[in-house]
Structure 1
Amino acid sequence: MKDPVTLSTGITYDRQNIETWIEGGNKTCPVSKQPLRTLDPVPNHTLRRMIQDWCVENRSHGVERIPTPRVPITSKEVGELLGRIAKAQSPKECLELVGKASKAIKESERNKRCFIANGAGKTLALAFKSICDGEGEEILSLLEELMSSVTLMVPLDSEALGHLGSSGPLARLVWFLKRGGLSGRRSAVLVLKEVISSYKDQQKVVGEVVSIEGTLEGLVELIKEPVCPASTKASLVVIYHMISTYDPIIARFVELGLVPLILDILVDAEKSICEKALGVLDGLCRTNVGIEAALDHSLTVPVVVKKILRVSDLATEFSVSILWRLSQKEAKQSEGVLVEALQVGWNINERTKEKVTKLLKLLNLYRDRVECIDSLDFKHIKRSF
């Protein structure tokens, strides 16, 4: 045991294991089978000290002393803290309380679940909404702390999404996306991703976000100058939903240079980012302007071809779809795509059989006219940014 706790039946267990038992819906003591009068176990400090003393005595055998665990926050404490946040009289007071909540949430998964179960997401979202139009250093610091805390509460419930999906909060999220520091931009795009991905009326919220000046530029800037992998993934997800819902903005994304940025990412991206980047590129290639931008880049076909069957089924689907869209261009350009795809060499699977069959028929026309070359290595290609 690392953190011994005693149930109402008098039996002591390790906290993590007994909490897993209780969270699984069990309301009885595993050993005695007696019903539990309370689901909140009591720390067994005497046994914990004995365990730590034993660890110290046996350190010569490589045993490390177990650190004294933090006592998890209770539902009652969470409720009181959230109530104080909702009734805070000043930005300074609210900032201190939100900081305290954020610290407790980060201490353990149990604490996080406790906050989520007590409606922390909607409380924090409502606090953000109520002051999103405010100005001043204290207000901005509080808004940033609220955004950071909200990112710990995902997935958000419908009430929290409703608060954040209104015009005021969305405009403030975009403001942080454009003008915030590194942590502010990261939190803003993570919250924006959660709202757009989970909002009931996605078309409505996407339209609202698109109408806010600077949204597209802020998202592209996060791709060009990434803060962290999480923010890059979130930016790609937001862009994907935007171009899937609102075709007219594809041309604007192309103007902002998104296609070459996506191709640069694809050169050596890890699986999750690769899938999302391919999804965005596939969406951009739904329009002629996106296809033109893709065909103008020398890396498009070789990079996309090399993702087939080498990343995941989803990446393969997107890759085949992109090649299919490019092959539907005018005859001369289509021929170039097909010939290059054969030269690089690629394979496909059953999930995209219909498009693949048609592509293979087109490729077959040029099979005898080209010679396959060795696989290309993109690891040392210098990025354009």
Structure 2
Amino acid sequence: MISSWRRRRAAKREGKLQQQRSEDGEIEFELTVPREFRCPISLDLMKDPVTLSTGITYDRESIDKWIEAGNFTCPLTNQVLRTLEPIPNHAIRKNIQDWCVENRSHGIERIPTPRVPVTSMEVLKILSKINVACNRQDGKGCRDLVLKIKSLAKESERNKRCVVTNGAAGVLSEAFQAFSMATASSFDENVDVLEEILSGLTIMFPLDVEAKGFLGSVPAMQCLIWFLSSGDLSRRRNAVLGLKELVNVSSSSSDNRRKVNELSETEGAIEALFKLIKDPISPTSTKAALLVVYRIITSSSTKEKQVRKLVNLGIVPLLLETSVDAERSICEKALGVLDGICNSEEGRRMACDNALSIPVLVKKILRVSDLATEFSVSILWKLCKNGETEHGGSVVFEALQVGAFLKLLLILQVGCAENTKEKASEVLKMLNLHRNKMECVDPMDNFKDLKRPF
């Protein structure tokens, strides 16, 4: 009897089956994972055991999170780590896999052999070769190396972090600039490597200041515009994402303004962006194109000229049609661009002449988001203050007809930004002067889907 108990206790320590009785009296089996197979941090079965410089083995995912949190000591021994690159423990991994196979009849699945993550040394070696190939203008060699970097970055999130932290974005941006400068004489030879470099850069967004400096050079920007104007969907998507990254307001204001000015003055830029909005290829590219256009018409030194060009292309009806049933983010950006367009007399005239303008703007108030409401009120304020329809009827009358009065009253009640409140109050005063002159539609249709904030 005593020896039987000792055997059961030994089996438990060794990770063998232990028995216990369920509530209905039936014997159940519970499998205990051996202690040496468990990660000291998560206490779970290790899937990718790695050993630190202190000799302690952890699961890679757990120790990576520990190090990324800013810890540079061994969690178990508290010793300072001599290196942050853990070494795969193939012996323990093999033992864990064997144990999983032995217990597969009890529902234990064999852990797959993990891919060994890329090291900083490997990444730096590849980036050094890219620099050499770039200096030699070896397009094919550079393209093959960029494909290798892309493959590593896509393999896992850890690899991507390793690639980015070792300066891959700066090296690829510099290579893009270098091959862009050579396109005038040998574009057909370099287009493949440029396309591959740009594709690799999109994986590493957001870019640092150095990388943006290379990508924002005149030759590189001209190449981006050429890609944006080409028929290849992948090139167009990557190009507009690159332009969006360049005009991001996270850069210093002077540097950002310079890039926006250079972009607005690049031949064919406005036309290519308009085409991408008119014939969308994906929601991501549409959002990026709208954001770039917004930066151009609000920040560039030639914004009046660019607005005039966009109005002549037909941007106003396109933005209104886009806003009708678009998702929130696209709707916000389309209304933002329309607000910028309506700063010009041509833009306001085009908006007043469009039958969709006032109904769409009133409908979007309090229906999409706070930002969409702010843009809608701002546009309505500009049109009511300055605009007249081509038939001579006042925009104010049209706004009253579609229920703008009660919607603007509701804005003041539920609260909004101070600037929006001032514009809503001013529009209400203009509407109030004409309320007794005409019948207003029942505005309850506009509020039936409105969620109350209380």
TM-score by length of 1: 0.89
Distance 2:434 2:256 in 1: 44
CA RMSD of aligned residues (A): 2.6
What are the residue-to-residue correspondences of 1:138-217 with 2, within 5 Å?
138-198=189-249, 200=252, 201-217=255-271
* 1:17 counterpart (39, 62, 74): 62
Residues 119-147 of structure 1 deviation map (CA, whole Å, 9 limit, x = unaligned): 11111111111111322444101000111
User: Matches of 1:61 and 1:259 in 2, distance apart?
Assistant: 66
SS at match of 1:247: helix
Aligned equivalents of 1:275, 1:291: Cα separation in 2: 19
Choose which of 151, 162, 179 in structure 2 pairs with 1:131.
Answer: 179
After TM superposition, list the pairs within 5 Å mapping 1:1-385 onto structure 2: 1-49=46-94, 66-88=111-133, 89=136, 90-132=138-180, 133-134=182-183, 135-198=186-249, 200=252, 201-245=255-299, 246-330=303-387, 332-342=393-403, 346=407, 347-348=410-411, 349-351=415-417, 352-367=420-435, 369-373=439-443, 375=445
- One-letter identity of the residue aligned with 2:441: E
Over the matched positions of the two proteins, sequence identity in percent amounts to 52
Match for 2:291: what amino acid?
A: V
Q: Judge conservation of contact 1:326–1:337 (CA < 8 Å) in 2.
A: no
Shift of 1:17: 2.8
Higher relative contact order, chain-length normalized (CA < 8 Å, sep 6+): 1
SS in 2 for 1:310: coil
3-state SS in 2 of match to 1:13: strand
Per-residue CA deviation, residues 139-186 of structure 1 (Å, 9 max, x unaligned), is 101000111111122222222211122211111111111125111111
- Residue 303 of structure 1 aligns with an amino acid whose one-letter code is V
SS in 2 for 1:350: coil
Number of residue pairs aligned between Structure 1 and Structure 2 = 377
Amino acid at match of 1:176: F
1:300-353 Cα offsets, whole Å, 9 max, x none, are 222222322332222221122111111112464332343144269634232122
**Structure 1 unaligned spans of 5+:** 378-385
Judge which range, 45-54 or 278-287, deviates more.
Answer: 45-54
Q: Which SS does the other structure have where 2:58 is aligned?
A: strand
Change (3 A) 1:341 1:111: farther
Please report the TM-score for the alignment, with normalisation by the length of structure 2: 0.76
Q: 1:82 to 1:371 in 2, by over 3 A?
A: same
Question: Rg larger in 1 or in 2?
Answer: 2
Equivalent-residue separation in structure 2 for 1:94 and 1:58 (angstroms): 49
- Unpaired runs of at least 5, structure 2: 1-45, 448-454
